[in-house]
A and B are shown apart, each in its own frame.
Chain A
Amino acid sequence: MDKNKLPAYLSVFIFSFLFWELLVWSVNIREIYLGLFVAAAVSAFATKFLIQSRPFYLYNPVRLFWILIYSVCIFFVEMVKANISMAKIVLSKDMGDTRTGIIRIPGSKKIKSGYGLAMVANSITLTPGTITMDVAEDDKGNNYYYIHWINVETTDRQKAGEIIKGRMEKGIGRIWE
Chain B
Amino acid sequence: MTLLSIISLIFMIIGIFFAAVGVYGVLKMPDVFGRLQASTCIATMSTLMIALAAIFYALPHGLGFGTVIKLALFALLILGTNPISNHALIKASYKMGIRPKKRMVIDDYAMDFGSGAEEPVAEYPEEKEVQEA
Contact = CB atoms under 8 A, between A and B. Distances in A.
Interface in A132-177: 132-134, 136, 146, 148, 150, 152, 155, 157
B90 A83 contact: no
A22 B73 contact: yes
A128 B65 contact: no
Interface of B: prevailing SS: helix
A169 to B, nearest CB: 15
Interface in A95-131: 95-96, 98-104, 121-123, 125-131
Nearest to B94: A133
B105 interface: yes
B61 interface: no
Contacts of A155: 105-106
A26 B104 CA distance: 54
A80 B14 CA distance: 11
A90 interface: yes
Contacts of B82: 125-126
A79 interface: yes
Interface in B57-102: 64-66, 69-70, 73, 79-80, 82-84, 86-87, 90-91, 94, 100, 102
A32 interface: no
Interface of A: 19, 22-26, 79-80, 83, 86-87, 89-91, 95-96, 98-104, 121-123, 125-134, 136, 146, 148, 150, 152, 155, 157
Interface of B: 18, 21-22, 24-25, 28-30, 33-34, 36-38, 40-41, 43-45, 48, 64-66, 69-70, 73, 79-80, 82-84, 86-87, 90-91, 94, 100, 102, 104-110, 112
